[in-house]
Amino acid sequence: MERRKDEAPTDDLAQVIRRAGRRPAPAPEIQAAVRAAVEREWTGQVSRRARRTTILLRIAAALAAVAVGVSWHALRPGATADPVAVGTFVAARGSVHIAPVAGRDWVVAGSRLDAGSSIETGPSGYVLLTVARVAMRVGPGSLIDLERAGHVRLVRGRIYADSGSPSAPARALVIDTAFGLVTHLGTQFQVRVGPAAMSVSVRDGKVLVSRADGRAFTIARGQGLRVSSDGGVNRLDVTPYGTDWAWVSEFSPSFPIDGRPLSAFLSWYARETGLTLVLPDPGIRAELDRTILSGNVIGLSPAQALAAVMATTRFEYDMNTPGELRIEIRATGGAT
Amino acid sequence: MHEEDRQLVRTLIAGDAAAFRNFFDDYFPRLFRFIVRRVNGDEESARDIVQSALIRAVRKLDTYRGEAGLFTWLCQITRRELADHVAKSVRRETYMRRLVDLEDDPESRATLESIPACGEAEPEAVRQREDLSALVHTALDYLPNQYARVLEMKYLEDLSVEAIAETMGVTAIAVQSLLARARVAFRDVGETLLPSLGGFT
C-alpha cells in the first residue's frame, strides 16, 4: 500500500542517514587558512565602512554643533560608542603604556581592556594579559593593538601565548602582523616582529601562519617559521626551552603553592620553561603528590621559585641534561 | 524573504565577531563540500575557490537583499568562482559540461529552491546517483542548518528529543516540530535527487 510522504516510517530515513555517516569536514588547516583570509577581508570591509560612517557622523555633528552651539567634542564618535571588552589586564612590570583604559585612569589586576586599546612596552617593560581566554605575555620593546575580540595586532616586539593544557577548549585567537596572520590552534607559542622579519616558534601544540598571498604554513611543536619582508619564508627547528624563551620567564604569573602538591608545582615549572619533567624512579611520583607545599613564591622568577621550594623538600633537581628537569630523592637531609 | 539570513548579514556588516564565527562555521564546510565534489576531490582547488568566493561575498554583503537564502546566494557566487577557475583549467571542457548539466535540470532546481535557504541543484549528485552517501550528505547540506543538525543529532548521535532540546536550548516540543519539518524537507530533496529510486525512503 502506498503511503503518504509525511506518514512514512522514520526507520527508513534513519537508516539511510546512518548508512551515509557523518558529512566529511574540511581539514582544520584548510578551514583555518580560509577563515584567516576571509576574516582579514571582512575586518577590512568593516573598518572601511566604519571610517565612512565616522566621516559622515563628523560632518553631521559639526553642522549640528554650529546650529545649536554644542561642542564638537561632545559628539565625537568615541563619546557615544559602546566599548567592547576584548581582554583583561593581569600585571605589568617596568616601563609600560596602556591606553585607553576602560572607566578609570589607572589599571589594576582584572581591569577590562576594550577594543581599540593599545599596549606599548619600553626596554624593561612586560605585560601579562588575557585575550580570548588565552594567557598572553608582552615582552620588552613591543607595541600591540587589541583590535577586537580574539584579534591582536602585533606591530613590533614579541608576544607569548599559552592557552593551557592541550585538552582545553579551542580558543579563537589571531595575531595579526605585517608579515601575515598567526592563528592559534593551541597551545604555547611566541611571535616576534622586527623591521625586517617575523618569527614564530611553537613550544607545544601548533599554529597556522597565513600570508596575504594565500600561502599557509602549519607550525607544530619544535618548529618555527621566519617570514622576511622580501617574502622569503623559512622553516626552522626550535627547542621548546633555552635562550629564545628566556624572556617568557622574566615576568610570569606566580604559581600559588600554598596547599598544593609538589608535583603540581613541578609540572607548572616544566611548562613555564619548556622542559620535560623526568622522574627516574617511578615511585617518586606518588611521593611528589603527597608532598604538600605551604607559603608563597610571589615575586620570584620560576627559577628562583624552584630553588626556594626544592630547598624545603627531601627532593633535589638536576637540569644538566638539555631539555630535562630531573627530580630525585636527596641522599640526606630535607624536610616537609 | 529570508529574515533570519538578513539579520545575520546585518550583524556581519556591523562588525559582530560572533556573527562572523557563526557565518563561517555554518557556511564554509557546506560550500567546501559543494565545490570539492566538482573538482574531483582536489582540496587545494576547492580551498582557493571557496576562499575567493567568500572574500567576494563579504565585499558585497550590503547587496544581499534576502530574496534567496544566504546559502543559495553564496552558492551563486561560489559557482561563478568555479567557472573562473574552470576557465583557467586544462580540464575546462569536462567541468563546463557538468555546469551545463546543472543549468539544464530545471526540475531539480525548482524543488531544491523551494526549500527554505536551499542551494542550487547538485550536478555531481545527479550524475552519481548510485553514490548514496554523497547524495545524503548533499541533501543535508541543502537543508537549513538547523534541519541538518537536528537530523544528525537524532539519527547519527542517537540523542533523545530531550537531549537535543537541551543542546539546542529549545523545548522538546519545538524539537519534535523541527524534526518533523526536517524529515519532510529531507525527503523532498531525496525524491528530487533519486527519483528513480523513489527518494531516500
Per-residue pLDDT tens digits for A126-172: 999 998 888 999 999 999 999 888 889 999 999 999 987 655 555 67
Q: Would the pLDDT of A125 be above 70?
A: yes
Touching check for A2 and chain B: CB below 8 Å?
no
Give the pLDDT confidence score for residue B117 in this predicted structure: 42
- Residues B53 and B31: their CA atoms lie apart, in Å, by 9
C-alpha distance from B96 to closest chain A C-alpha (Å):
25
CA distance A42 to B191: 38
- Burial (0-12, 13-18, 19+ Cβ within 10 Å), A255: buried
Q: Are strands A233-237 and A180-193 parallel, antiparallel or unpaired?
A: unpaired
The rounded distance, in Å, linking the Cα atoms of B140 and B117 is: 12
- Spatial distance between the Cα atoms of A311 and A316, rounded to a whole number of angstroms: 8
Residues in A closer than 8 angstroms to B136, CB to CB, are 16-17, 19-20
Residue A35 confidence class, pLDDT cut points 50, 70, 90: confident
As a whole number of angstroms, the distance between CA A137 and CA A93 comes to 11
CB contact under 8 A, A6 and B184: yes
Find the CB nearest B55 among A13, A37, A49: A37
Please report which helix (H) or strand (E) contains residue A126, including its range.
strand A126-131
Question: CB within 8 A of A143, min separation 6: which ones?
Answer: A118, A119, A120, A121, A154, A155, A156, A157
pLDDT at A114 over 60: yes
User: Is a pLDDT exceeding 90 seen at residue A47?
Assistant: no
Residue of A nearest to B9 (CA): A42
Q: What is the pLDDT of residue A168?
A: 59
CB of A53 less than 8 A from some CB of B: no
* B152 in contact with A, Cβ within 8 Å: yes
Interface test with A, best of B81, B187, B201 (most A CBs within 10 A): B201
Instruction: Among B31, B132, B133, B164, pick the best mutation site for testing chain A contact (most A Cβ within 10 A).
Output: B133
pLDDT category at A199 given cuts 50, 70, 90 is very high
Query: What confidence category does residue A308 fall into, taking pLDDT thresholds of 50, 70 and 90?
Result: very high
Residue A12 near chain B (CB below 8 Å): yes
What is the Cβ-side half-sphere exposure of residue A183, based on CA atoms within 13 angstroms? 23
Tens-digit pLDDT profile for residues B142-193: 888 889 989 999 998 888 888 888 777 788 898 999 999 999 888 887 777 6
In the predicted model, what is the mean pLDDT of residues A102-108? 67
The pTM for the full model equals 0.52
Say what percent of chain A tops pLDDT 70: 82
The answer to whether the CB atoms of A20 and B132 lie below 8 A apart is yes
At A20 the pLDDT is 85
**CA–CA separation, A249 and A268 (whole Å):** 12
As separate numbers, helices (DSSP H) first and strands (DSSP E) second, chain A gives 7, 17
From the list A18, A33, A49, which residue is nearest B155 (CB)?
A18
pLDDT higher than 60, residue A95: yes
What is the distance between the alpha carbons of residues A265 and A271, in angstroms, rounded to a whole number? Answer: 10
Q: Using the beta-carbon criterion (under 8 Å), do B136 and A20 form an inter-chain contact?
A: yes
8 Å CB contact between B80 and B86: no
Q: Which residue has the higher pLDDT, A143 or B65?
A: A143
Q: CA distances (Å), A133 to each of A97, A125, A164, A171, B68, in order?
A: 22, 22, 9, 7, 38
> Is B10 near chain A, with CB under 8 Å?
no
**Would you state the pLDDT for residue B30?**
92
- The answer to whether residue B122 neighbours chain A at the CB level (below 8 Å) is no
Cell of A161: 601565548
For residue A291, the model assigns a pLDDT of 94
Residue A80 has pLDDT above 90, yes or no: no
Beta bridge partners, A177, equal A180
Given CB atoms, is B50 within the 8 Å cutoff of chain A? Answer: yes
A50 to chain B: closest CA residue: B14
HEC profile of chain B: CCHHHHHHHHHHHCCCHHHHHHHHHHHHHHHHHHHHHHHCCCHHHHHHHHHHHHHHHHHCHHHCCCCCCHHHHHHHHHHHHHHHHHHCCCCHHHHHHHHHHHHCCHHHHHHHHCCCCCCCCCHHHHHCCCCHHHHHHHHHHHCCHHHHHHHHHHHCCCCCHHHHHHHHCCCHHHHHHHHHHHHHHHHHHHHHHCHHHCCCC
pLDDT of residue A278: 94
For residue A231, pLDDT beyond 90? no
- Express as a percent the part of chain A with pLDDT over 90: 41
- The residue with cell 602538591 is A261
For residue B111, give the nearest of B91, B98, B125 by alpha carbon. B125
Question: Is the Cβ of B88 closer than 8 Å to some Cβ of chain A?
Answer: no
B156 closest CB neighbour out of A22, A149, A151: A22
- What residues in A contact B55, CB-CB < 8 Å? 37-38, 41
| Alpha-carbon span B143 to B123, nearest angstrom | 17
- Mutation site for A-interface testing, chosen from B11, B16, B20 by largest number of A Cβ within 10 Å: B20
CA–CA min distance B20, chain A (Å)? 8
Measure the CA–CA gap between A77 and A62, rounded to whole angstroms: 12
Which residues in chain B touch residue A46, judged by CB atoms under 8 angstroms apart? Answer: 13-15
CB of B43 within 8 Å of any CB in chain A?
yes
Is the CB of A19 inside 8 Å of chain B's CB atoms?
yes
B136/A35 CB distance under 8 A: no
Instruction: Determine contact: B28 vs chain A, CB below 8 A.
Output: yes
Report CB contact under 8 Å: A41, B21. no
Q: What is the CA radius of gyration of chain A?
A: 26
B24 contacts in chain A (CB < 8 Å) = 35, 38-39
Residue A165: what pLDDT? 66
3-state secondary structure of A307: helix
State the pLDDT at residue A275. Answer: 93
| Cβ distance of A38 and B154 shorter than 8 Å | no
**Which of A6, A23, A150 is closest, CB to CB, to B141?**
A23
Choice between B195 and A37, residue whose per-residue pLDDT is larger: A37
What interhelical angle do A28-68 and B43-59 show, nearest 10?
10
Q: A29 to chain B: nearest residue by CA? A: B47
Mean pLDDT over residues A16-33, rounded?
85
B12 touches chain A (CB under 8 A): yes
A31 touches chain B (CB under 8 A): yes
Q: Which pairs from B83-91 meet CB under 8 Å and 24+ separation?
A: B84/B52, B85/B39, B85/B45, B85/B48, B85/B49
